[in-house]
């Protein structure tokens, strides 16, 4: 049995990893730990095979640059240093696609050898954390650094996906812009982490779905599973594309932001289900909300707090 400690007691990605591991009967024992106070520093972590560090201030969590340095950098280093000192053999650190900046047209295209280009406090804090913990790695302590793009799944709390769910239930038509974006189903991310835990493998990983996602196609699939047909408009595509290069909100919706597919090759087949099946699972919480108005579509279980 593998023993895993997940930091960030209310982390949504931590929840998704725990859900994935639970499907493997008694192969994994999961402990969730809050890092809000200093009590964790006095606990022994010697019994754990892997630490998954999911506690962080997210890019939409409203944290200041100073808070992001304290939580995303200093706390990350303290966790990694304690794990090594307590003879844990493996650490998974969740970094982010946000370490890459957009080009002059507002697009982000990342190849295997693309270097980080830092423009936001969040991206800077995540990359600073990577640099801080890398020297700790050795033959007895491996560190896996993951830079996931937009992650979506049931009860997703990252703002972009809930916005798409809302659009899919309210808008009658949508610009048929054929953009490309890297996205990652939460259970596929969880499966990658499970495989890394099994092999105690370190390194840098740029995970994404098998194929790039077009925003219009995703909205159409969400609408289908929520029983609301969204018409795709070629007429609106041209002005939407123009706005994407001048407006940040439109750029996030209609611009390109992706890893080249070969950049994600890592020797693991970690993809769970088809794209359509991942959308069906992801909107399950919205379906529940449609029949029970007392329950929210999105629950507050982000990784934005320790």
**278-289 core/surface letters (b: 16 or more CB in 10 A; e: else):** bbbbbbebbeeb
Per DSSP, helices labelled H in 114-183 are: 121-133, 160-170
SS3 (DSSP) at 119:
coil
As a dihedral over the C-alpha atoms of residue 100, residue 53, residue 156, residue 111, rounded to 10 degrees, the angle is 20
- So what's the pLDDT on residue 18? 96
Measured distance CA(95)–CA(72) in Å, rounded: 9
- So what's the pLDDT on residue 102? 75
- So what's the pLDDT on residue 287? 67
Measured distance CA(287)–CA(116) in Å, rounded: 39
Q: Which residue has the tokens 């953009």?
A: 179
SS3 (DSSP) at 237:
helix
- So what's the pLDDT on residue 57? 83
Q: How many CA atoms does the CB half-sphere of 2 hold within 13 Å?
A: 25
Q: Which domains does the chain have, with CATH numbers?
A: 2-152+183-210+261-273 (3.40.50.720)
- So what's the pLDDT on residue 299? 30
Each residue's pLDDT tens digit in the chain (306 positions)? 999 999 998 899 999 999 999 999 889 999 999 999 999 999 999 999 999 999 988 766 567 888 889 999 999 999 999 999 999 999 999 999 999 987 666 789 999 999 999 888 899 999 999 999 999 999 999 999 999 999 999 988 666 788 899 999 999 999 999 999 999 999 999 999 999 999 999 999 999 999 999 999 999 999 999 999 999 999 999 999 988 888 878 888 899 999 999 999 999 999 999 999 999 999 987 666 544 433 333 233 334 445
């Amino acid at each position: 049995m593998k023993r895993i400690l997940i930091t960030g007691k209310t982390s949504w990605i931590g929840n998704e990893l725990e859900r994935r591991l639970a499907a493997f009967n008694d192969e994994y024992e999961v402990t969730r730990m809050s890092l809000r106070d200093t009590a964790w520093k006095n606990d022994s972590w010697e019994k754990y095979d892997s630490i998954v560090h999911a506690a962080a201030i997210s890019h939409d969590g409203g944290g200041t640059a100073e808070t992001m340095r304290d939580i995303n950098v200093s706390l990350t280093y303290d966790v990694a240093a304690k794990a090594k000192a307590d003879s844990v053999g493996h650490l998974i650190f969740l970094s982010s696609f946000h370490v890459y900046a957009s080009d002059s047209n507002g697009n982000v295209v990342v190849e295997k050898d693309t270097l980080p280009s830092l423009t936001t406090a969040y991206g800077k804090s995540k990359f600073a954390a990577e640099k801080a913990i890398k020297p700790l790695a050795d033959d007895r302590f491996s560190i896996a650094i993951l830079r996931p793009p937009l992650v979506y799944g049931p009860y997703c709390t990252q703002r972009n996906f809930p916005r798409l769910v809302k659009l899919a239930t309210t808008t009658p038509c949508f610009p048929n812009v054929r953009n490309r974006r890297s996205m990652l189903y939460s259970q596929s991310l969880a499966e990658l982490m499970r495989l890394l835990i099994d092999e105690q493998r370190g390194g840098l990983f740029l995970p994404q779905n098998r194929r790039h996602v077009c925003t219009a196609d995703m909205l159409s699939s969400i609408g289908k599973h929520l029983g609301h047909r969204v018409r795709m408009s070629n007429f609106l595509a041209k002005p939407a594309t123009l706005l994407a290069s001048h407006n940040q909100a439109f750029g996030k919706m209609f611009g390109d932001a992706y890893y080249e597919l070969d950049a994600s090759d890592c020797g693991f087949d970690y993809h769970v289900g088809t794209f359509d099946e991942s959308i069906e699972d992801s909107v399950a919480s919205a379906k529940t909300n449609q029949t029970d108005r007392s329950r929210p579509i999105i629950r507050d279980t982000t990784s934005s707090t320790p």
